[in-house]
Chain A
Amino acid sequence: MANVSEGQQHPVKLYLQVWGWLFVFSFLSYLVDYNDLQGIWRWTLVLMFMMIKASLIVIFFMHMFWERLSLVYAILLPPLCLLVLVGFLAIEGEYITLLRDLYLGR
């Protein structure tokens, strides 16, 4: 952890670099749509760019890189529970779709 004299003060150069990368990755994810990629490539690229952008914002713009671990874990670990909910609802969704296929003959 860096020594922070007053608040979170960091080199402007770092912010500008992060800013630049955010633009690059946003543009790349737009290109995915522009070139109409489909299937596994679309999912992989979109999710990858999304995670990179989200990480850049949290780590540098929201200063998580310089915060103490007690705060970092208190904030970043609880949202992982949401993955359980995603899993449940994905299974549920498949099941409902199956039921509709079976009984509603769509």
Chain B
Amino acid sequence: MADHTSPERPQPQNTGWQSLVDDWSSDRQAFKVSWGKAMMWIFLLSDTFVFSLLLIGYMAVRLTTPQPWPDTGEVFALTVLGHEFPLLLIAIMTFILITSSGTMAMAVNFAYARNRRMAALFILFTAILGASFVGLQVFEWTDLIQKGVRPWENPMGAPQFGAAFFMITGFHGLHVSIGVLYLLIVARKVKRGDYDRSGNYEPVEIAGLYWHFVDLVWVFIFAFFYLL
């Protein structure tokens, strides 16, 4: 309102887009955290919806398909010492990802304790675990592709299995891969002392949020896609 100026907050002089930016940024703050953390949380919230839509879509096609759904325990079984363990490959992948979540938590702790060497080392370790997860996923994909599974067909039953499998695990694998790159960049910055100079180690915690989120999504994929 043009004639309604208050003394403590002068009206912004700008027009157009700049006025919109002014209005949304003029010292109004809802979240008492740094912008970096707030934005990472908002991004993770949006990502939650993307993954949820994929999983809910999977629920819908699985409910309605007239063909039998493959037994994931058998499909992803591994034979160790002559004994066939159901779903073993996925279990190993789950443990790798949980381990990486633990090492990431340690990295954040070391970072805030200003232990540069250990922080960089643990972030690097987390990235290696993430990369090995992606490696196992490549193995898993190769195996299924050789069995004739495609996003549009599946010799073991419902073709929707192929679509859901490649879409959900692919999207999650992409997140892990990008996370590995992200972690490597942060590890380098920690090692180089960037955060010592800025005096703020929060970027490590923010990278940790992303990484724990990737683990969190896997918890749901593991339960809904592989176990149920």
- A: residues with CB less than 8 A from B are 6-10, 12, 15-16, 18-19, 22-23, 26, 29-30, 32-34, 36, 42-43, 46-47, 49-50, 53-54, 57-58, 60-63, 67-68, 70-71, 74-75, 78-79, 82, 85-86, 89-90, 92-94, 96-97, 100, 104, 106
Chain B residues, Cβ within 8 Å of A15: 102, 105-106, 109
A19 and B102 in contact, given A29-B222, A49-B223 (Cβ under 8 angstroms): yes
A25 CB to nearest chain B CB (Å): 9
CB pair B227 A61 closer than 8 Å? no
Closest residue on chain B to residue A12 by CB atoms:
B109
Chain A residues, Cβ within 8 Å of B52: 79, 82, 85
**Distance, CA A12 to CA B122, complexed state (A):** 14
Question: Can you list 11 pairs linking A and B with CB atoms under 8 Å apart?
Answer: A6-B201, A15-B105, A26-B95, A33-B87, A34-B86, A34-B87, A47-B223, A50-B220, A67-B33, A89-B56, A93-B64
Chain A residues, Cβ within 8 Å of B56: 82, 85-86, 89
**Distance, CA A18 to CA B215, complexed state (A):** 14
CB pair B41 A71 closer than 8 Å? yes
Chain B residues, Cβ within 8 Å of A34: 85-87
Closest residue on chain A to residue B221 by CB atoms:
A50
How many chain B residues sit at the interface, stated as a range, is: 35 or more
Chain A residues, Cβ within 8 Å of B86: 33-34, 36
**Distance, CA A10 to CA B59, complexed state (A):** 38
Chain A residues, Cβ within 8 Å of B197: none
Check B48 for interface membership: any CB of A closer than 8 A.
yes
Check B108 for interface membership: any CB of A closer than 8 A.
yes
Check B216 for interface membership: any CB of A closer than 8 A.
yes
Chain A residues, Cβ within 8 Å of B201: 6-7
Chain B residues, Cβ within 8 Å of A33: 73, 86-87, 226-227
- B: residues with CB less than 8 A from A are 30-33, 38, 41, 44-45, 48-49, 52-53, 56, 59-60, 63-64, 66, 73, 85-87, 91, 94-95, 98, 101-102, 104-106, 108-109, 112-113, 201-202, 205, 208-209, 212-213, 215-216, 219-220, 222-224, 226-228
CB pair B101 A57 closer than 8 Å? yes
**Distance, CA A68 to CA B216, complexed state (A):** 21
**Distance, CA A96 to CA B102, complexed state (A):** 44
A74 and B60 in contact, given A9-B109, A15-B109, A79-B45 (Cβ under 8 angstroms): no
Q: Looking at the complex, which one of B44, B73, B112 makes contact with A75 (CB distance below 8 Å)?
A: B44
**Distance, CA A47 to CA B223, complexed state (A):** 7
CB pair B30 A46 closer than 8 Å? no
B90 CB to nearest chain A CB (Å): 9
Chain A residues, Cβ within 8 Å of B44: 75
